[in-house]
Amino acid sequence: MDTVIPILALVIGVLVGFVLSKVYQQQRDLKRRSAAEEQVQQLTQNAQREAENLVKEAKLEAKDLLFQAKAELEAKEKEKRNEIQVADRKIIQREEALERKVSQFEKRDEEMRRKERSLKEKEEVLDNKAVACDQAIKEHRLALEQVAGITAEEAKRHLLGEIESEARMDSALLTKRILDEAKETAEREAREIVTRSIQRITRDYVNEATISVVPLANDSMKGRIIGREGRNIRALEAATGVDLIIDETPEAVIVSGFDPLRREVAKIALERLMQDGRIHPTRIEEVVEKVKGDLDKLMRDDAEKVIFEVGLSDFHPEIVKLLGRLKYRTSYGQNNLYHAREASYICGIMASELGLDVKLAKRGALLHDIGKVVSHEEEGTHAMLGAELAKKYGESELIVNAIAAHHEQVEPLCPESVLVAAAEALSAARPGARRETLEAYVKRLEKLESLATGFTGVDKAYAIQAGREIRVIIRQGELNDSESFALSRDLAKKIEQELTYPGQIKVTVIRENRFIEFAK
pLDDT along the chain (520 residues), means of 10: 73 80 80 82 84 86 86 88 88 88 86 86 84 81 66 68 70 70 67 55 46 72 75 76 72 71 79 79 82 79 80 81 76 72 82 82 81 71 82 84 80 82 74 53 77 85 74 81 82 85 80 74
Give 313's DSSP letter: -
CB distance 374 to 389 below 8 Å: yes
Q: What pairs with residue 202 in β-bridges?
A: none
CA-closest candidate to residue 370, choices 398, 349, 397, 393: 393
3-state SS class at 377: coil
Q: Distances from the Cα of 309 to the Cαs of 64, 295, 341, 366, in angstroms?
A: 99, 21, 8, 11
For the CA atoms of the chain, what is the radius of gyration?
59
Residues 6+ apart with CB under 8 A from 331: 339, 369, 372, 428, 434
CB distance 351 to 416 below 8 Å: yes
d(CA 187, CA 179) in angstroms, rounded, equals 12
pLDDT at 205: 42
pLDDT at 206: 40
Phi and psi, residue 459, nearest 5°: -90, -55
CB distance 262 to 223 below 8 Å: no
Neighbours of 318 (CB within 10 A): 13
Q: Distances from the Cα of 117 to the Cαs of 104, 112, 121, 123, 125, in angstroms?
A: 20, 9, 6, 10, 13
DSSP code string of 183-222: HHHHHHHHHHHHHHHHHT---------SEEEEE-SSTHHH
3-class secondary structure per residue, 481-504: HHHHHHHHHHHHHHHHHHCCCCCC
CA-closest candidate to residue 323, choices 333, 312, 332: 312
Q: Distances from the Cα of 223 to the Cαs of 42, 235, 270, 279, 436, in angstroms?
A: 128, 14, 13, 11, 39
Phi and psi, residue 149, nearest 5°: 80, 10
Question: Long-range pairs for 433-440 at CB < 8 Å and ≥24 separation?
Answer: 433/205, 433/334, 433/339, 434/207, 434/331, 434/332, 434/333, 434/334, 435/207, 435/332, 435/333, 436/332, 437/332
The answer for 454, left when phi > 0, alpha when psi is -120 to 50, beta otherwise, is alpha
CB distance 476 to 512 below 8 Å: yes
What is the b/e burial string over 390-412, where b = at least 16 CB atoms within 10 angstroms of the residue's CB? bbebebeebbbbbbbbbeeebeb
d(CA 325, CA 318) in angstroms, rounded, equals 11
